[in-house]
Structure 1
Amino acid sequence: MNPDAPLYQRDPEAWRAHLAEGNRTQPRKRVSADVLFRDSYGRLLLVDPQYKPDWDLPGGMAAANEPPLAAAIREVGEELSLTWAGGDLLVVDWVTPHDPWDDLLAFVFDGGVLTADQQQAIRLGDGELSAVRFCTTVEASRLLRPYVWRRVQQALDAIRSGRAYYLHDGERS
């Protein structure tokens, strides 16, 4: 074997060990996956988590190695007892570190307009939520944390424009 050949050609097992060490030591990203559902009046579906003071969109944190869309589908099922097949990506928001959290990639998917039957089927499922309600954008702007509201505004704009946006703390670059 050529001693000048790259490591991956000379010693595949050493190369694999090198990659594994890089995987072990490189930073990890937290990932959240939320869904923007609306009703026929254009109101937004918000949830009231018991574990934090502010309202939020349905969704939550992705598990290790779980794709963001799969996390959103799972969370909607767990939180709202709804079967949702997934929707288009509206925004990806890089959220800067904020005490005590490291940075975060927040995905928001389009949940579409829920029918009356789908709305009637909503049941608080996993014990994390104390309430769910449809809100006007004015109400949502008051109930959501400011950076979450900025993200929701950009997601609504993505629906109108037909294109997804990359955000930094809720703002387009």
Structure 2
Amino acid sequence: MSDGSAESAYYAQLARTRGAAGAVQLDGSGRVLLVRPGYKPVWDLPGGVIEAGESPLAACTREVREELGITPVLDRLVGVVWFPSRPRRTASNLFVFAGRLPETAQTAIEPDPGEIAEFGFFPVSALPEVEPHTERRVRSCVEGYLGGGTVYYEESTKPAWYGGSGEGPG
């Protein structure tokens, strides 16, 4: 009978990746909620790093609560983005969840001033300054949410696969 040391050694040598989770939150007009973190000059989806032992959905909920003081509405997973290793960073997976935020939650937003410099709701066709891969991700994930699909990216390229009908965006 094994004492588990071989199994432990096997798992110890496997590659490690980081995980993060982001939230697509739409208002009643279909505008998407974005935040501008205090540590970067561009806008992004609310969200952040998955902590040890935490699920992607739990991380997304926690991060939105920490950043904006509200509980997000997360109906379903709408996107997964894989980022390769780069200097000082291991490979990572970003899980994007989406839902429609009720007006009561929209008016209750209180950003954490230590993390978030600004927040706002923007039409997908007129996003503020975002990184190009963020713009593609926001557009594709909103379209996937509205169309019932899920998008998958590798290295922030164009969508590699859409769930649901199997059709990609436009």
Match of 1:152 in 2: 138
Among 26, 33, 42, the residue aligned to 1:45: 33
More helix by share: 1
Alpha-carbon RMSD across the aligned residues, in angstroms, is 1.7
Count the aligned residue pairs.
Answer: 159
Unaligned runs of 5+ in 1: 1-10
After TM superposition, the score normalised by the length of structure 1 is: 0.83
Indicate whether 1:136 and 2:105 are aligned.
no
SS in structure 2 of the partner of residue 143 of structure 1: coil
- Shift of residue 85 of structure 1? 5.5
Contact 2:133/2:157, CA 8 A, preserved across alignment:
yes
Please tell me whether the aligned partners of residues 77 and 83 of structure 1 are also in contact (alpha carbons under 8 angstroms): yes
* 2:102 alignment partner in structure 1: 115
Quickly say closer, same or farther: Cα 1:145–1:34, change in 2 above 3 A: same
CA distance in 1, matches of 2:28, 2:140: 20
Q: CA deviation at 1:96?
A: 2.4
Q: How many angstroms does 1:138 deviate by?
A: 3.5
Q: Is the 8 A contact 1:48 1:130 kept in 2?
A: yes
Distance verdict in 2 for CA 1:36–1:171, change over 3 Å: same
Instruction: For 2:119, give the aligned amino acid.
Output: V
Tell whether the 8 Å contact from 2:25 to 2:73 is kept in structure 1 after alignment. no
Work out whether residues 33 and 72 of structure 1, in 8 Å CA contact, stay in contact via their aligned partners in 2.
yes
Contact kept in structure 2, 1:91 and 1:108, CA below 8 Å: yes
Larger radius of gyration: 1
Q: TM-score, normalised by structure 2?
A: 0.85
Q: CA deviation at 1:148?
A: 1.4
Contact 2:35–2:119 (CA under 8 A) maintained in structure 1:
yes
* Structure 2 unaligned spans of 5+: 161-170
Query: Alignment partner for residue 12 of structure 1, among 2, 6, 26?
Result: 2
Alignment partner, residue 158 of structure 2: 171
CA distance in structure 1 between the partners assigned to 2:143 and 2:14 by the alignment: 34
- SS at 2:78's partner residue? strand
Letter in structure 2 aligned against 1:53: P
